[in-house]
Structure 1
Amino acid sequence: MSNQPNPSISSNQQTILVTGGRGAVARGLTALLHARGVPYRLASREPDSPGTVRCDLTDPSTFPGALAGIRSVFLYAEASGIEGFVKEAVAAGVEHVVLLSSSSVLSPDAAESPLAAAHLAVERALEASPLRTTMLRPGAFAGNARGWAWSLKAGRPVHLPYPGSHCDAIHEADIAEAAFAVLTDPGLGGRAYTLTGPHSLTFATQIAVIGRVLGRPTAFEEVSAEQWKSEVDGYIPGPYADALLDYWAASDGLPAELTDAVEQLTGHPARSFESWVEEHAAEFAPTA
């Protein structure tokens, strides 16, 4: 989707391509661009709204049309087509790419981890290119809590193999605002930012926060890694499930390292996990 600049925006401002158009961060980013009159083009593998162009990051044939006339890109990390995307972006005259990466790339074994390998491969491809690149490396999305919604809606305890595992629970709106900042302020680009929420919370604490916001009891039940893996079989591929279990085991009882990058980029402290739950409380409400 491409919107026209308002009178307060320079007429020569260049259009930004926003990929992953159905994702929460992309939706938040395009809302900010629209509100500020910044021209953009929304792209998705499966366009579901008028004006959205098709850009399947695994299909190089969709790149030329999406990139025509584009000078900046907000890019989701898809490794399988990144070489073709870089080639087409350079040919199209793209000057700046803002990558939605992951803090998992900072792990010593990132190249071997199913959770980090794709992000790392895309980072390396961009770093090897002539494109000016900004890396946004968020930790755990607050929205990951949606994985507990079914149990909580049914009034059942959430099964957790490592209830004491910590994460930094970052609000997707903060990631969108950070992306907006680096896309519209040239002085902020060309570097990497590790984005975190304001607190390190255990899974058990997050479930308690959901209960406080909902005003009703919420509970968890500690289960073995083997039981949890069998319960998610069919939803989470085995290698990813194993990688998650390893990550949770490593962070069990170990607070997440926090940064002030969100405040640095947006001018305000990172939003709390509680604020995210308040905005999404209906998703955890009991079924009728």
Structure 2
Amino acid sequence: MIVIMGATGATGGATLRSLAALGTPSRALSRDPARLAAALDDGTLARTETVPADAADPASLRAAFRGAHQLLLTMANGPQQVRYELNAIDAAVACGVEHVVKISAPAAEPDSPVAVSRGHHLVEERLRASGIRTTVLRPYAFMQKLLLQAPGIAASGLIPSATGGARCNYVDVRDVGDAATEVLTRPELAGGAYPLTGGQAYSHPELAALLGELLGRPVHHLALSPSALHAHLVARAGMPDWLASHVVEIQQLAVARPEAPDGTFTRLTGRSPRTLEAFLGEHVHHFR
């Protein structure tokens, strides 16, 4: 049995749908299983067992993990992420889980300039010490996160960033779910570490031009300092302080460590990743 933590989140939900499309059953954990079940399409729900569990409650995790052989560990970024994921690892060890697929991040290092990535490093270290076979997926920025800025872009016609002309990798979270499904269902892939990107990296000026072409009106890049971008994201996009800091940090990482697409996703799945053009075209109404 495959257990999905973070099943109500974007990556967990994408993995549930991908597993169901293959006919592979899974067990999805949620503090509110009825709400989770109501959000799933009929095909996914037919292959999914929804179980109550709370990442803050180790006893509930141990109950939910019983009989499981594999775990997808994907909790939302946030101040409690490390604590919740460490709880899950302890429960996995106690229940004899044999394989954990950890959704991590690029630059998951002890001295990473990205605070969230330092947390991922701590979780990976605990997994290594646990003795459980571990596969690590390292997706770059989710295309879906661009939607957080859509209202502000729609109102102002501006895309703010502190990246200058540096290019950033973007990956569709549905591709992350597909990659997770591959490593959960193909034992020969277990134990590796896999970066995940789209097929092309974009600078923010290039992103503005692409969005303007789709909208049929000009969209411009607004170049800001890191501190000004943080203030803009809090005041204009309504982001909490920690999330605005995270956005600034990953943009500064792209400046310090130039990003380029990687072919790992295609090697895992046998197909090309979804494109940013297709994603924005699918969601262009959010930017109008």
Assess same fold via TM > 0.5. Answer: yes
SS across alignment from 1:116: helix
1:39 to 25, 47, 51: 25
User: Could you say which residue in structure 2 is the equivalent of 1:122?
Assistant: 123
User: Could you say which residue in structure 2 is the equivalent of 1:174?
Assistant: 175
The reply to whether residue 29 of structure 1 matches residue 15 of structure 2 is: yes
Residue pair 2:159, 2:204 contacting (<8 A) in 1 also:
no
CA distance in 2, matches of 1:204, 1:57: 40
Residue pair 1:17, 1:67 contacting (<8 A) in 2 also:
yes
Question: 1:144: Cα distance to partner?
Answer: 2.1
1:109 to 104, 108, 111: 111
Residue pair 2:135, 2:193 contacting (<8 A) in 1 also:
yes
Q: 1:240 to 1:172 in 2, by over 3 A?
A: closer
User: Could you say which residue in structure 2 is the equivalent of 1:55?
Assistant: 53
- Look up the equivalent residue of 1:109 and give its one-letter code: D
Question: 1:39: Cα distance to partner?
Answer: 1.2
CA distance in 1, matches of 2:118, 2:257: 23
CA distance in 2, matches of 1:133, 1:250: 26
Report which stretch shifted further, 243-252 or 257-266. Answer: 243-252
- Look up the equivalent residue of 1:49 and give its one-letter code: L
CA distance in 2, matches of 1:49, 1:241: 28
CA distance in 2, matches of 1:247, 1:208: 22
User: Could you say which residue in structure 2 is the equivalent of 1:19?
Assistant: 5
The reply to whether residue 269 of structure 1 matches residue 272 of structure 2 is: yes
Q: 1:19 to 1:168 in 2, by over 3 A?
A: same
CA distance in 2, matches of 1:239, 1:131: 31
Question: 1:38: Cα distance to partner?
Answer: 0.9
User: Could you say which residue in structure 1 is the equivalent of 2:44?
Assistant: none
Aligned length: 269
**Matched ranges for 1:197-236 at <5 A:** 197-233=198-234, 235-236=238-239
Could you state the TM-score of these two structures normalised by the residue count of structure 1?
0.83
Q: 1:151 to 1:242 in 2, by over 3 A?
A: closer
CA distance in 2, matches of 1:239, 1:72: 31
Residue pair 2:138, 2:195 contacting (<8 A) in 1 also:
yes
Report which stretch shifted further, 228-237 or 130-139. Answer: 228-237
Question: 1:269: Cα distance to partner?
Answer: 1.8
User: Could you say which residue in structure 1 is the equivalent of 2:281?
Assistant: 278
User: Could you say which residue in structure 2 is the equivalent of 1:85?
Assistant: 88
User: Could you say which residue in structure 2 is the equivalent of 1:72?
Assistant: 70
Give unmatched runs, 5+ long, in structure 2.
38-48, 76-80
CA distance in 2, matches of 1:59, 1:138: 28
CA distance in 1, matches of 2:201, 2:234: 28
The reply to whether residue 161 of structure 1 matches residue 159 of structure 2 is: no
Question: 1:168: Cα distance to partner?
Answer: 0.7
Identity of aligned residues (%): 30
Q: Deviations over 1:23-71 (max 9, x none)?
A: 2222221112212221111113444233532333233132022212211
Q: Which has the higher helix share?
A: 2
User: Could you say which residue in structure 1 is the equivalent of 2:45?
Assistant: none
CA distance in 2, matches of 1:211, 1:253: 28
